[in-house]
Structure 1
Amino acid sequence: MIDGWIIDPTTYIGWICKLRVFLVFTTRTIAPWLIVLATIDRWLLSSVDAHRRQRSTLKNAQRWTIIIIIFSILLYAQLFYCYEANQIHTPLKCYGKTVACRYITDFSFAVITILCPLFFMILFGLLSVSNVQQSQRRVQSLQLQSIISITNKQAGSVFGNTEQKLKQKTDRSLLRMLLVQVLILSIFTLPLSLDKFYSSFSGDDASSV
């Protein structure tokens, strides 16, 4: 009775195995790329260029969301052919049926699902910080230009020092936020990629013995 309750249907029913793997890999790809999309949108909004800010629209966000979903579906559509239930000499019963399928799946997962999103998150995160710094410099320059009275030089100096401290604090907060975001995603995604590669190579070694 107990054994009957813990049977996993994905291990012996082919279409359930294929559907489950497809949904898992597809959603794991969609999620980080949507975060990349949000990071790019943040970069556009923080830009000093008005034309770039105009590109940050709900319509563009919806369009790119659809593109990401379609791309993820097409990327892992091959899983319906590659994965099969009742596999032997593999880490899981529901697994890739050929070595080529396993390598293609693992490479796609490691590069497209994990490494590329992390790279673009770091890139556009740093560009967003740079945009904020440029905006702060422009605001500070305009404020300094407004100080034209000689009697207000001392007050302007104090104000400038305060602005500089606030700018440094903002930069540190943005960099800290970016670092935490990348670290959390790396901790929860990189081990999955390493585990996939290890499973494939160890599975091949076991089957060749």
Structure 2
Amino acid sequence: MTLFQDAQQLSLYGGIVLLVFGIIGNGINILVFTKVRIYRINPCTFYFLMGSIDNLFYVCLNLPIRILIDFFQIDVIGSSDIWCKIRNFLLIAPSLISITFSCLATIDQFFVTSKINFLRNCSQIKWAHRVSIIVIIFWCVYCIHIFFVAHIVPSTNVCTSDNPSYLVYSAVYLLAIICGIPVSIMTLFGILTYRNIRQTIRPAELHYDRQLIRMTLIHVALVAVSLIPFGINNAYSLITAGTVKNLNRQMIEYLVSTITTLGTYLYYVGSCYTFLLTSNRFRQQVKKEIIYWHRKNIIGPA
């Protein structure tokens, strides 16, 4: 089996596994964060809720299309300029929205654990609602340019852009906006949150939730593991773009690109499972809600 076929098989089976686990995991997050009052009124978990809704949409839309293109060689994008533009918009805007919500959740935990009263007061559910609306509107407006630059290039019949300026932007987008900046922000505020906890003499006075902080910090690790390899691989591709490569090297790079791209979906899929690992309260709530729905459908004699 060639490396190209290996990459195709990986796209199929890895994509199906990620799709199933993504639907289940994000569905559990949405169920728990909307049903449990202590999570519903907390700004941090509200950001996780919004991120889970966005992740569910992203996974359900993009993974099936990727499987169709990579494995079945069905080009569902190249048939229409309009669909090409919409597809690119729905690929970029939701990813930016989701990553921003993860950054906001980490920043919120820094506010909650701060000894400065003004910063602690910044963590309020009403502000979380307003900031979330602003984030969604901002990134949707920001991505409108895609409708003007993305199209099916006649010479290659590929949905992309032949604008040189946009190609430079794509490199900046992949390396900085998607990978570098979010990972840096979440790492920085994760470290600051940990420092706040270490410096607090009487934690009870700050009323912060240690389990929620663990959930947030492990989420930072999930983002780093998912996105950093993708960023490194894209940096390598940009550096070696002018290098003449033989067929074997191209196939190896294609396989690595497939692995790192699928790896980014771990971010959109894995939050529920990291929460289950780090929070006993979250595990109990998941068990309670699942048992509740199971019992609700039981029909028995009166």
TM-score class normalised by the smaller sequence: 0.5 to 0.7
Question: CA 1:34 to 1:99, structure 2 compared with 1: closer, same or farther past 3 Å?
Answer: same
Distance 1:112 1:97 in 2: 21
**Bigger Rg, which one:** 1
Q: Secondary structure at the match of 1:7?
A: coil
Deviation of 1:51 after TM superposition, in Å, equals: 2.3
Instruction: Determine if contact 1:106/1:193 at 8 Å carries over to the other structure.
Output: no
Question: CA 1:99 to 1:200, structure 2 compared with 1: closer, same or farther past 3 Å?
Answer: farther
TM-score, scaled relative to structure 2: 0.47
Distance 2:154 2:190 in 1: 43
Deviation of 1:55 after TM superposition, in Å, equals: 1.4
Deviation of 1:8 after TM superposition, in Å, equals: 2.1
Aligned match for 2:199, one of 111, 117, 134: 134
2:93 corresponds to 1:33: no
Instruction: Determine if contact 1:12/1:86 at 8 Å carries over to the other structure.
Output: no
RMSD over equivalenced CA pairs, Å? 3.2
Give unpaired runs (5+ residues) of structure 1. Answer: 143-169
Q: Give the aligned length.
A: 167
2:144 corresponds to 1:106: no
Map of 1:190 onto structure 2: 228
Instruction: Determine if contact 2:153/2:161 at 8 Å carries over to the other structure.
Output: no
Map of 2:180 onto structure 1: 115
Question: CA 1:18 to 1:199, structure 2 compared with 1: closer, same or farther past 3 Å?
Answer: farther
Distance 2:83 2:170 in 1: 18
Deviation of 1:123 after TM superposition, in Å, equals: 1.1
Deviation of 1:73 after TM superposition, in Å, equals: 1.8
TM-score, scaled relative to structure 1: 0.66
Distance 1:93 1:77 in 2: 20
Q: Deviations over 1:132-183 (max 9, x none)?
A: 1222x2469x9xxxxxxxxxxxxxxxxxxxxxxxxxxx8xxx79973x5444
Distance 1:96 1:44 in 2: 41
Instruction: Determine if contact 1:11/1:86 at 8 Å carries over to the other structure.
Output: no
Map of 2:76 onto structure 1: 9
Question: CA 1:75 to 1:195, structure 2 compared with 1: closer, same or farther past 3 Å?
Answer: farther
Instruction: Determine if contact 2:97/2:135 at 8 Å carries over to the other structure.
Output: yes
Deviation of 1:66 after TM superposition, in Å, equals: 1.8
Q: Secondary structure at the match of 1:97?
A: coil
Deviation of 1:192 after TM superposition, in Å, equals: 3.6
Instruction: Determine if contact 1:14/1:84 at 8 Å carries over to the other structure.
Output: yes
Distance 1:103 1:55 in 2: 37
Distance 1:189 1:88 in 2: 32
Map of 1:165 onto structure 2: none
Question: CA 1:197 to 1:101, structure 2 compared with 1: closer, same or farther past 3 Å?
Answer: farther
Map of 2:189 onto structure 1: 124
Amino acid at match of 1:132: I
Map of 2:32 onto structure 1: none
Question: CA 1:39 to 1:68, structure 2 compared with 1: closer, same or farther past 3 Å?
Answer: same
Question: CA 1:122 to 1:12, structure 2 compared with 1: closer, same or farther past 3 Å?
Answer: same
Instruction: Determine if contact 2:105/2:216 at 8 Å carries over to the other structure.
Output: no
Instruction: Determine if contact 2:190/2:220 at 8 Å carries over to the other structure.
Output: no
